[in-house]
Chain A
């Protein structure tokens, strides 16, 4: 998926973002990382779910944001948010439209990805309680349980201390949310509920939360993801 689509993509982002990405396009297509001022756009997976809200958060950082529904769009991005939504639907559509394999490859190659709720499920190596045949992209060395709190009646909001983000506590909104039931050696815990259930994890360039910062005004998780995007300078 690298070659042609990578070139297209730099041309596309130069047109879209103007001066910011126009400098590096001719030469950096084949050369890989650290394009300096020519940072590729950040993507939001837009198969289903609250992708517009994530795009708005990233744009508030000044990022050039594109929606991703096709492999050619994925090939352009320097980072990706997988939004909240229905994980079984996002899984199905990602395989149906040929996105799942390139996504798995990009994650393995170091693409920074932030998944919220359904996005966390998509990033988990193991999904407990999936629908028949449900798959995930994997990447995070964790096992996640879908709808871990029960029906919508049990959806809730609560303040949670996230040591890696410092004070104040994060106001977390859980909507039919998953929890991380097992955390493997390679993943590290960023946050847990008072009862110990894990709801935020990180592993290399991957970040996942059970809850939805995009539904609040506290964008520190997105900032953490975006800082990673800027420092990694990923090119497919």
Chain B
């Protein structure tokens, strides 16, 4: 199949960033097996994220969380035709090599798993498959982009069902972009230093007023209203982790979150979508989490 492609370039930045462009306005759902993947696809997910345990379970069960078993990932890839993403540990470039060999469509270098390197992230330029990475602020987003990330998601606090951290992070990232846009050119040198981000990227953001890659939001989205709020705040789309499959009626909730994401600015549609969904996932207030249990503080 590959051989028949004429002289052309694969794995370019445009192609890597391009897939994320096509996911905009959509919902990407965490799934742990083929059956959940099919439910997500039926409900209108634009992509699924394969992982071994959803964040809520990682949180409650503890221990080291790693890349999924390749059999599980293969099972999910063959169950659906929408793009399949999968998570690798921060800095674990061999897990990423394995995921690329398995033909996943996107790799999430994710703080939800236990970090494999507390200093370095993966050099993502070395891969043909694109990466999405989490960020809590603009500097972190730009460091990931500098390492080759082709998509950013604000981190939020995964596995809590508490949307407050997602709100904080998307507001922070977009607010810092707005601040850059209003700066004089000679102020950007210090801005680069303060953001701990490459000067060239800082200048680009100041000029364009947006990230050079798609920005989704994640971590604590549990209801149609949460998803619509993230879109109104300026996210390009949403990741829903434990929020779907830890709820009372995953298929209905998943479809409702998809509708609310498309019609994020129409309260009538969001109200209709919010009816009769049964129990939302049981939440944990982020404020009650001791600092060592906050996943969003992983990654640097």
**A65-96 interface mask toward B, CB cutoff 8 Å, 1 = contact, 0 = none?**
00001000000000000001110110011001
CB of B44 within 8 A of chain A? yes
Contact indicator B10/A215 (Cβ below 8 Å): no
**B1-28 interface mask toward A, CB cutoff 8 Å, 1 = contact, 0 = none?**
1101111111110111011011111100
CB of A152 within 8 A of chain B? yes
CB of B259 within 8 A of chain A? yes
Q: Which of A2-10, A15-23, A55-63, A154-162 is near enough to bind chain B?
A: A154-162
Contact partners of A93 in chain B: CB under 8 A:
44, 258-259, 262
B18, B80, B100: most-surrounded residue (chain A CB, <10 A): B18
Name the residue on B nearest A84 (C-beta): B22
Name the residue on A nearest B129 (C-beta): A153
In whole Å, how far is A156's beta carbon from the nearest beta carbon of chain B? 4
Contact partners of A235 in chain B: CB under 8 A:
none
Contact indicator A215/B25 (Cβ below 8 Å): no
- A155–B105 CA distance with the chains assembled, in angstroms: 10
Contact indicator A86/B26 (Cβ below 8 Å): yes
CB of A150 within 8 A of chain B? yes
A-contacting residues, B120-170, CB 8 Å: 128-130
- A157–B16 CA distance with the chains assembled, in angstroms: 11
Name the residue on A nearest B23 (C-beta): A86
In whole Å, how far is B240's beta carbon from the nearest beta carbon of chain A? 14
Give the number of chain B interface residues (Cβ < 8 Å): 45
In whole Å, how far is B253's beta carbon from the nearest beta carbon of chain A? 15
- A152–B11 CA distance with the chains assembled, in angstroms: 9
Contact indicator B10/A195 (Cβ below 8 Å): no
- A149–B10 CA distance with the chains assembled, in angstroms: 11
CB of B46 within 8 A of chain A? yes
Contact partners of B4 in chain A: CB under 8 A:
195, 197
Known contacts A48-B46, A195-B4: does B19 contact A155 (CB below 8 Å)? Answer: yes
- A193–B262 CA distance with the chains assembled, in angstroms: 34
- A60–B263 CA distance with the chains assembled, in angstroms: 26
Instruction: Determine which of A47, A153, A155 lies in contact with B18 in the assembled complex, contact meaning CB atoms within 8 Å.
Output: A155
**A158-180 interface mask toward B, CB cutoff 8 Å, 1 = contact, 0 = none?**
10000000000000011110000
How many chain A residues sit at the interface, stated as a range, is 35 or more
Name the residue on A nearest B41 (C-beta): A131
**B169-209 interface mask toward A, CB cutoff 8 Å, 1 = contact, 0 = none?**
00000000000000000000000000000000000000000
**B239-258 interface mask toward A, CB cutoff 8 Å, 1 = contact, 0 = none?**
00000000000000000001
In whole Å, how far is A208's beta carbon from the nearest beta carbon of chain B? 16
Instruction: Determine which of A117, A129, A130 lies in contact with B22 in the assembled complex, contact meaning CB atoms within 8 Å.
Output: A117
Known contacts A152-B129, A176-B105: does B8 contact A47 (CB below 8 Å)? Answer: no
Known contacts A129-B81, A157-B14: does B105 contact A85 (CB below 8 Å)? Answer: no
Contact partners of A151 in chain B: CB under 8 A:
77, 103-105, 129
- A198–B240 CA distance with the chains assembled, in angstroms: 37
CB of B277 within 8 A of chain A? no
Contact indicator A153/B82 (Cβ below 8 Å): no
In whole Å, how far is A41's beta carbon from the nearest beta carbon of chain B? 19
CB of A118 within 8 A of chain B? yes
In whole Å, how far is B279's beta carbon from the nearest beta carbon of chain A? 24
- A79–B46 CA distance with the chains assembled, in angstroms: 26
Name the residue on A nearest B15 (C-beta): A155
Instruction: Determine which of A47, A154, A175 lies in contact with B25 in the assembled complex, contact meaning CB atoms within 8 Å.
Output: A47
Contact partners of A149 in chain B: CB under 8 A:
1-2, 5
Instruction: Determine which of A48, A147, A153, A174 lies in contact with B24 in the assembled complex, contact meaning CB atoms within 8 Å.
Output: A48
Contact indicator B14/A173 (Cβ below 8 Å): yes
B-contacting residues of A (Cβ < 8 Å)? Answer: 46-53, 69, 84-86, 88-89, 92-93, 96-97, 117-118, 129-132, 146-147, 149-158, 173-176, 193-195, 197, 212, 215
**A153-B128, A173-B14 known; 10 other A-B pairs, CB under 8 Å?**
A48-B25, A85-B25, A88-B81, A89-B258, A149-B1, A156-B9, A157-B12, A173-B15, A195-B6, A215-B18
Ordered by A's residue number, 30 sampled pairs between the chains whose C-beta atoms are within 8 Å are A48-B46, A49-B24, A52-B24, A85-B23, A85-B25, A85-B26, A86-B47, A88-B44, A89-B44, A89-B82, A89-B258, A97-B263, A130-B81, A131-B82, A147-B81, A149-B2, A152-B130, A153-B11, A153-B100, A153-B129, A154-B10, A155-B10, A156-B8, A157-B8, A158-B7, A173-B15, A175-B19, A176-B105, A215-B14, A215-B18
